[in-house]
Amino acid sequence: MQRKFLTNLLLLLFLNLLVKPFWILGIDRTVQNTVGEEAYGLYFFILNFSFLFNILLDMGITNFNNRNIAQHKHLLNKHFSGILIIKLLLASFYFLVTFSVALIIGYGGQQLYLLAWVALNQFLLSFILYLRSNISGLLMFRTDSFLSVLDRLLMILFCSILLWGHVTEAPFRIEWFVYAQTLAYLITFLIAFGIVVKRAAFRRLNWNTAFFIMILKQSFPYAMLILLMTMYYRSDSVFIERLLKGTVGYQQSGVYAKAFRLLDAANMIPLLFSVLLLPLFSRMIKTNQSIVPILKLSFSLLFTLSVSVAIGSAFYRYELMELLYVGDSRLAPLVFGKIMFSFVAMSSIYIFGSLLTANGNLKQLNMISLVALLVNFTINIILVPKYMAIGSAYANLATQFTAAIPQIWLAIRVFNLKWNGRYILSLAGFIAGILVINIVSRQLPYSWLINFCIMVVFSVVLSVALKLLDFKGLAKIVREKD
């Protein structure tokens, strides 16, 4: 299983690192610089508002299905037809609730128009994720890896034409960005649908009330978990827009989006880990295989990455923001320097949360997420009116660690994981070493970019010296036969 995990992880990382950094830093960043903070801020809080009700599109079915198909492959043919009907019914409910709430809180005009397209995109994306859960549940990781980047690859193509193809004399508008997403999601959906239909030997839709109730009942704990996690991860910009109001709210939301985009980009890596870990952990738990080797391997890789990125981002926050964005906002680097420490907690959540989800510890995970949500709401309400975007950065940071620490403790207790003193000292030594490396690199008499590269190189050397990153061991795993 270690070889299956590592080889497919390398493929998944290769494809995503080939495509998504250009999407985030080349296309998404260019769009924000082109349309400006206010226009992009409007889109950003509309996007996050649509995410708040995203659970209504899925009700936990995707995560439940991923775990279920990984443990019982034969259920794909039986479940696929019924779940399609459920997804369509849930989509209708999602649109009803989303627009009802939007009207109640006073959205209108351009906000509602943009919301309509963004909500359609959420529907398509939710369906794509459900289809991919069948593919990854069957452990078809290579197919899933290509589907994971197809939508972004298409968006890069469409947005590149609109941004640099000179196909129109009109200036680029944020609405075009949303239209490109819609077309890319639609094409990806059709391809994924065709793959799953073939594997499931799908013939026709079947209405079965008892089946619908059973699926919704079993997926409800997953739904609650996703709802709570989405709300505490995506609500910050909504608080900024609602508490500050008007153009100040849009502008501060745009500032927060600059920092959050890089956190979201970094978050792509642990998310890819979880895509593989959830079905693998599910299969291993069912067959009574030890999860310790894969757990330690994945945690060591993500810990070294997340700590290096977080501390490096804090020390080089001004230079990185000036490199990526136009404008004279001095607040964005401060937000960025703080919010990137959330990456350390989020990396742990994706690993230990996947393990606990695979084991069925949904009740405990929901309780932890509820506490994290309350922390998020409380800190946002207190700090945003005074500190604006930076207040939400503090809220995000506190929230992620509130969720991560109990999940690690729960996993240790549930799986009776043993404490390894030498390993803990290596983790602590790595944190201290990265701090020293960054402090020293800042004092070197070179350009900041050279200093930054030196810092990255010595961070890798330190991780190897402490045996947190073992290239020989990784190569050995890849060469082994399953």
Whether the pLDDT of residue 476 is over 60: the answer is: no
Cα distance between residue 324 and residue 298, in whole Å: 30
Share of the chain above pLDDT 90, in %: 29
Highest mean pLDDT among 277-286, 317-326, 398-407, 459-468: 398-407
What pLDDT is attached to residue 371?
A: 94
Q: What is the mean pLDDT of the chain?
A: 83
Query: Helix (H, G, I), strand (E, B), or coil: what is residue 327?
Result: coil
Please spell the DSSP secondary structure of 84-112, one letter per residue.
Answer: HHHHHHHHHHHHHHHHHHHHHTT--THHH
What pLDDT is attached to residue 162?
A: 86
Confidence of residue 441 (pLDDT cuts 50, 70, 90): very high
Cα distance between residue 202 and residue 106, in whole Å: 44
What pLDDT is attached to residue 425?
A: 92
Domain boundaries, the chain: 2-418
Cα distance between residue 29 and residue 34, in whole Å: 9
CB 221 within 8 A of CB 4: no
Cα distance between residue 292 and residue 38, in whole Å: 48
CB 118 within 8 A of CB 46: yes
Q: Give me the phi and psi of 204, to 5 degrees please.
A: -155, 165
How many C-beta atoms surround the C-beta of residue 443 within 10 A? Answer: 7
Cα distance between residue 48 and residue 52, in whole Å: 7
Whether the pLDDT of residue 100 is over 70: the answer is: yes
How wide is the angle at C-alpha 354 spanned by C-alphas 348 and 356, nearest 5°?
100
Please spell the DSSP secondary structure of 340-387, one letter per residue.
Answer: TTHHHHHHHHHHHHHHHHHHT-HHHHHHHHHHHHHHHHHHHHHHHHHH
What pLDDT is attached to residue 313?
A: 92
pLDDT one-digit tens code per residue, 236-292 = 877 887 788 777 887 888 788 888 888 888 888 888 788 778 877 887 888 888 888
The residue type found at 2 is: Q
What pLDDT is attached to residue 399?
A: 94
Residue pointed to by tokens 């045996």? 467
pLDDT one-digit tens code per residue, 339-359 = 999 999 999 999 999 899 888
Q: Please tell me what DSSP assigns to residue 419.
A: P
Please state, in angstroms and as integers, the Cα–Cα distance from residue 64 to each residue in 8, 186, 246, following that order: 22, 24, 41
What pLDDT is attached to residue 440?
A: 95
Which tokens hold the place of 145? 């890896």
Which tokens hold the place of 170? 């009109």
Please state, in angstroms and as integers, the Cα–Cα distance from residue 333 to each residue in 286, 389, 390, 435, following that order: 46, 11, 10, 19
Q: What is the mean pLDDT of residues 99-111?
A: 84
Which residues are CB-neighbours of 297 under 8 A, at least 6 positions away? Answer: 2, 5, 6
CA neighbor of 58 nearest in space, from 207, 220, 186: 220
pLDDT one-digit tens code per residue, 372-418 = 999 999 999 999 888 888 999 999 999 999 999 999 999 999 998 88
pLDDT one-digit tens code per residue, 129-143 = 888 887 877 777 778
The residue type found at 302 is: L
The residue type found at 313 is: S
Cα distance between residue 239 and residue 379, in whole Å: 10
CA neighbor of 282 nearest in space, from 6, 8, 71: 71
24-27-31-32 Cα dihedral, nearest 10 degrees: 20
CA neighbor of 272 nearest in space, from 262, 280, 283, 282: 280
Distance of CA 469 to the CA centre of its chain: 24
Which tokens hold the place of 115? 């919301």
Please spell the DSSP secondary structure of 171-227, one letter per residue.
Answer: PP-HHHHHHHHHHHHHHHHHHHHHHHHHHHT-------HHHHHHHHHHHHHHHHHHH
pTM of this structure:
0.72
Whether the pLDDT of residue 311 is over 80: the answer is: yes
Report the number of secondary-structure helices (H) and strands (E) in the chain.
Answer: 20, 0
Among 57-66, 177-186, 267-276, 427-436, the least confident range: 57-66
Q: What is the mean pLDDT of residues 59-72?
A: 70
Residue pointed to by tokens 């680097």? 333
Whether the pLDDT of residue 219 is over 80: the answer is: no
pLDDT one-digit tens code per residue, 176-217 = 889 999 999 999 999 988 888 877 766 666 666 777 777 777
Q: What is the mean pLDDT of residues 417-427?
A: 86
Whether the pLDDT of residue 33 is over 60: the answer is: yes
